[in-house]
Amino acid sequence: PSSTVSLSTGDLTVGGVPLAEAAERFGTPLYLLDEDEVRTRCRTYAHAFPDADIRYAAKAFLCRAMARWVAEEGLGLDVCSAGELELAVAAGVPPERILLHGNAKSPHDLEAALRLGVGRIVIDSPSEIARLAAAAGAARTRVKVMVRVVPGITAGAHEKIRTGTGDQKFGLSVADGSAQHAVARVLTQPDLELAGLHCHLGSQITSTKPYLAAVRRMVGLMARVRDTHGVVPPELDLGGGHGIAYRPGEPALDVPALARKVRAELIESCATAGLTVPRLVIEPGRAIAGPSGVALYRVLTVKRTEAHTFVAVDGGMSDNPRPALYGVRYAPRLVGRHSYAEPAPVTVVGRHCEAGDVLAAGVPLPGDVRPGDLLAVPAAGAYHLSMASAYNLVGRPPVAAVRDGAVRLLVRRETLEDLRSRDIGS
Ligand code: LLP
């Protein structure tokens, strides 16, 4: 699934660091992030989309180091809360390179966005327009906004992560005219500046086709805005959603091909509509963080029933809720085994108190897998820790960065004391 995370059989290393050594030093469960892989992925985007604004979707994974790495590579950030925003700014991301999303932005989110001077606020509902205009007026600032449009395109790996068509909570539909209506309202607000139109089709998309369809629809809408209001929004944000391989042999979205085709489609659609080509914005999250991360677990028990071998590890749905939420399948590997003698299909389960806490089903692991073994799960960098919980009062795992054969801690383990200290009741 990734170029520098070397996970064949054997001693298994990431960024030149043996996984067993990292586990020894920081304990398990542990998440390792390959800094070079993150930076390489940022550069792939920067080279493929030299004229675009690239906004890393912080919801995939965020900590101060991650924010700093992507900013150093010239990217900005897509954030969707005051929490993500404050962390990004504290890490040194220039606020004008930050874009705020959210279908239900809290007063605190908007206050932080105006105070810190984010580059764009993406409007997701009609009521937000008046709220934002009032807040901008009170703060005596003019805010650049985008309108999030539902273009009517079905894409995305799972129903829960599809946002390009109706019947989900995000955006304003072209089909029922609410997108056009929102644009009209924004244009009447002196304190709001319409910077562009936005759409996000969904997530874990591995084909370029839906993006090309989105370009055509969005350019069509831009032309209608021009015809109705005599103005052309200068930017077009196509969101993120670029898919990655979770298991060997799975397809990933080809980023350079996407860039080439999107550019060609944009030029052609704009020429047909008689529009100047808008500035492109993209928001990849998973494709930058996902393949750059590895989760490490210790095997605690092995239980053989008539039908299954259950290998239980010391993490589970609290640090990776994705299999339970979306039925995603991973390809775990055993660390330190030079051959997979007699591989047997096993079910890797977590330690949590519910039967659905399954990390991987029917995966081949050595038949003699035993307690104490170390298990590595590749492609674990996106939407694991950012969606982690402390279910069963199990603290969230630490994050360490690997680079040039060295490993350093970025985020420490959540301790029982951390968890207990929040409970101030008698
Ligand atoms: N932009 C917007 C407006 C989004 O809502 C998202 C993701 C992205 C960009 C980044 O999408 P990416 O490139 O990472 O696919 N928890 C789910 C994914 C939820 C995605 C939510 N929005 C999962 O684990 O698959």
pLDDT digits (tens, 9 = 90+) for 184-193: 999 999 999 9
Any atom of ligand 1 within 6 Å of the Cβ of 200 = yes
Percentage of the chain modeled with pLDDT above 70: 97
- Residue 163 is predicted with a pLDDT of 82
All residues at 6 or more sequence positions from 400 whose CB lies less than 8 Å from its CB, including other chains: 22, 26, 30, 31, 32, 33, 407, 408, 409, 410
Active site residues: 353
- Write out the chain in H/E/C secondary structure: CCCCEECCCECCEECCEEHHHHHHHHCCCEEEEEHHHHHHHHHHHHHHCCCCEEEEECCCCCCHHHHHHHHHCCCEEEECCHHHHHHHHHCCCCHHHEEECCCCCCHHHHHHHHHHCCCEEEECCHHHHHHHHHHHHHCCCCEEEEEEEECCCCCCCCHHHECCCCCCCCCEECCCCHHHHHHHHHHCCCCEEEEEEECCCECCECCCHHHHHHHHHHHHHHHHHHHHHCCCCCEEECCCCECCCCCCCCCCCCHHHHHHHHHHHHHHHHHHHCCCCCEEEECCCHHHHHHHEEEEEEEEEEEECCCCEEEEECCCCCCCCHHHHHCCCCCCEECCECCCCCEEEEEEECCCCCCCCEEEEEEEEECCCCCCCEEEEECCCCCCHHHCCCHHHCCCCCEEEEECCEEEEEECCCCHHHHHHCCCCC
Retrieve residue 199's tokens. 């759409």
Predicted confidence (pLDDT) at residue 208 exceeds the cutoff of 90: yes
**How close is the Cα of 294 to the center of ligand 1, in Å?**
19
Strand 374-378 vs strand 143-150: parallel, antiparallel, or unpaired? unpaired
Retrieve residue 120's tokens. 């764009």
Retrieve residue 231's tokens. 């103005």
The answer to whether the CB of 65 falls within 8 A of the CB of 409 is: no
Predicted confidence (pLDDT) at residue 2 exceeds the cutoff of 70: no
**How close is the Cα of 99 to the center of ligand 1, in Å?**
14
Distance between CA atoms of residues 117 and 97, nearest Å: 10
The answer to whether the CB of 304 falls within 8 A of the CB of 370 is: no
In tens, the pLDDT along 343-365 reads 778 999 999 999 999 999 999 88
Q: With CA atoms as reference, report the closest residue to 122 among 147, 98, 142, 144.
A: 147
Strand 374-378 vs strand 309-313: parallel, antiparallel, or unpaired? unpaired
Tell me what the mean pLDDT of segment 159-184 comes to: 89
Predicted confidence (pLDDT) at residue 249 exceeds the cutoff of 50: yes
Any atom of ligand 1 within 6 Å of the Cβ of 357 = no
- Residue 235 is predicted with a pLDDT of 98
In tens, the pLDDT along 5-35 reads 555 556 788 988 999 999 999 999 999 999 9
Any atom of ligand 1 within 6 Å of the Cβ of 78 = yes
35-288: which CATH topology?
A: TIM Barrel (3.20.20)
Predicted confidence (pLDDT) at residue 156 exceeds the cutoff of 90: no
Distance between CA atoms of residues 146 and 23, nearest Å: 44
**How close is the Cα of 283 to the center of ligand 1, in Å?**
9
328 Cα nearest atom in ligand 1 = 25
**How close is the Cα of 59 to the center of ligand 1, in Å?**
7
242 Cα nearest atom in ligand 1 = 13
Any atom of ligand 1 within 6 Å of the Cβ of 41 = no
Predicted confidence (pLDDT) at residue 291 exceeds the cutoff of 50: yes
285 Cα nearest atom in ligand 1 = 14
The answer to whether the CB of 225 falls within 8 A of the CB of 172 is: no
- Residue 227 is predicted with a pLDDT of 97
- Residue 341 is predicted with a pLDDT of 67
Predicted confidence (pLDDT) at residue 46 exceeds the cutoff of 50: yes
- Residue 44 is predicted with a pLDDT of 98
**How close is the Cα of 170 to the center of ligand 1, in Å?**
12
Residues annotated within the binding site are 241, 283-286, 322, 326, 354, 383
- Residues of the chain within CATH 3.20.20.10 domain(s) are 35-288
Ligand 1 pocket test, pick from 283, 319, 325, 326 with the greatest ligand atom count within 8 Å of Cβ, gives: 283
Ligand 1 pocket test, pick from 286, 319, 385 with the greatest ligand atom count within 8 Å of Cβ, gives: 286
Distance between CA atoms of residues 308 and 334, nearest Å: 18
Q: What angle do CA 271, 282, 34 make, to 5 degrees?
A: 145
**C-alpha dihedral (124, 127, 131, 136), degrees to nearest 10:** 50
**How close is the Cα of 240 to the center of ligand 1, in Å?**
7
Residues annotated within the binding site for substrate are 286, 322, 326, 354, 383
Any atom of ligand 1 within 6 Å of the Cβ of 320 = no
Any atom of ligand 1 within 6 Å of the Cβ of 26 = no
- Residue 337 is predicted with a pLDDT of 78
**How close is the Cα of 337 to the center of ligand 1, in Å?**
35
- Residue 5 is predicted with a pLDDT of 54
Any atom of ligand 1 within 6 Å of the Cβ of 60 = yes
Residues annotated within the binding site for pyridoxal 5'-phosphate are 241, 283-286, 383
Any atom of ligand 1 within 6 Å of the Cβ of 322 = yes
Predicted confidence (pLDDT) at residue 300 exceeds the cutoff of 90: yes
For the chain, the average pLDDT equals: 94
- Residues of the chain within CATH 2.40.37.10 domain(s) are 5-31+290-421
Ligand 1 pocket test, pick from 203, 255, 329 with the greatest ligand atom count within 8 Å of Cβ, gives: 203
Is CATH 3.40.1440.10 what the domain over 5-31+290-421 is classified as, yes or no?
no
Predicted confidence (pLDDT) at residue 274 exceeds the cutoff of 90: yes
> Looking at this predicted complex, what is its ipTM?
0.99
Any atom of ligand 1 within 6 Å of the Cβ of 242 = yes
- Residue 1 is predicted with a pLDDT of 44
Distance between CA atoms of residues 419 and 417, nearest Å: 5
Q: 128 falls in which pLDDT band (50, 70, 90)?
A: very high
Any atom of ligand 1 within 6 Å of the Cβ of 101 = yes
- Listed range (241-245, 289-293, 337-341, 421-425) with the worst mean pLDDT: 337-341
289 Cα nearest atom in ligand 1 = 14
In tens, the pLDDT along 130-154 reads 999 999 999 999 999 999 999 988 8
